[in-house]
Structure 1
Amino acid sequence: MTRFPKSGSRDVALILDTNAISALSVQDDALLNILEPGAELCVTVVNAAEYFYGIQSSRKRTLLSRWFAEFLESVEILNLNREVFPFYHVIRTELRMAGTPIPANDLWTASLARLHGMKVVSRDLHFDRVKGLERVAW
């Protein structure tokens, strides 16, 4: 049986990066143990699309697609809109000027996290380069 952490209060809201979504799909205990009880779990439309793309070539595509559809019903999906543009601009400019760019999809994740004041659950160290962003690792 698939176990999803209960999504709760917006007082603590976490964005799950694509590698966190993948870890949840296999019920990674280390990840499940660090998720704050009662935290609202969110994914960005970009991370959801990345995960969807990744499972299309999997031998477990049917199983993972079913899991993913159920998972998406249990989290909030954060969409891109014009409110995120200034955050994208500032973060991308700061990283470019420092000579430390990050992948484009992660730039959108970081921008949405800053817009909404959320932490990002990820194993990707490059999120640590983004000023004002807190990464939660497992």
Structure 2
Amino acid sequence: MAGNKVLLDTNIISALFKGDVTIANHIDKSDVYLSSIIIGELCYGAEYSTKIKQNIANIKQLISAYNILTIDDETALIYGKIKADLRRKGTPIPENDIWIASSAIQHKLKLSTRDKHFQEITGLTILNW
């Protein structure tokens, strides 16, 4: 794939599952990555839904189709810096989102998200699809 190297946030995957054509078009032009944190969030949503089997099957398709990033010691170091920076600024964001941002920064990826609070993170490039 050519184009942007992009980490997709959970809300982007959810929109894709709902048939958002705009996102599908962006994905076709990008080198797409997912985080194991995002997979966990998707699995939680699937297990809590009324269509568990269908949603888990969709998640498994994503896992086989895209690059999955895991958390390691470098991710943790970046996480600690981001969380401390956010605390100093008085702008906390959800824990999982700090991990997701850490993965994007570590791997030099743009983050596609619809969550505005990611703008609080220094050094993170955001795409609003």
* Alignment TM-score, normalising by the size of structure 2: 0.92
The answer on 1:87 being equivalent to 2:40 is no
% identical equivalent positions: 33
Which aligned pairs between 1:101-112 and structure 2 lie closer than 5 A?
101-112=92-103
Q: Does 1:22 align with 2:14?
A: yes
Q: Tell me the amino acid that sits aligned with residue 75 of structure 2.
A: V
Quick one: which amino acid aligns to residue 43 of structure 1?
A: L
Q: Secondary structure at the match of 1:71?
A: helix
Residues 1:64 and 1:40: Cα distance change in structure 2 (over 3 Å): same
Corresponding residue for residue 45 of structure 1: 36
| CA drift at 1:36 | 6.4
Question: For the structure 1 residues 36 and 136, does the alpha-carbon distance in structure 2 shift closer, same or farther, using more than 3 Å as the test?
Answer: farther
Distance 1:137 1:36, change over 3 A: farther
Q: Distance in 1 between matches of 2:20 and 2:74?
A: 34
Distance 1:135 1:48 in 2: 20
- AA of the residue aligned to 1:81: D
- What stretches of structure 2 of length at least 5 have no aligned partner? none
TM-score (norm 1): 0.86
Amino acid at match of 2:47: Q
**Alignment-mate amino acid for residue 15 of structure 1:** L
Q: What is the alpha-carbon distance in structure 2 between the residues aligned to residue 135 and residue 33 of structure 1?
A: 17
Structure with a larger share of its residues in helix: 2
Q: Secondary structure at the match of 1:102?
A: coil
Q: Which runs of 5+ in 1 are unaligned?
A: 1-7
Superposed structure 1 runs of 4+ greater than 6 Å apart: none
**Equivalent residues in 2 for 1:55-134 (5 A)?**
55-134=46-125
Partner of 1:4: none
Provide the aligned C-alpha RMSD in A: 1.5
Q: Distance in 2 between matches of 1:73 and 1:81?
A: 21
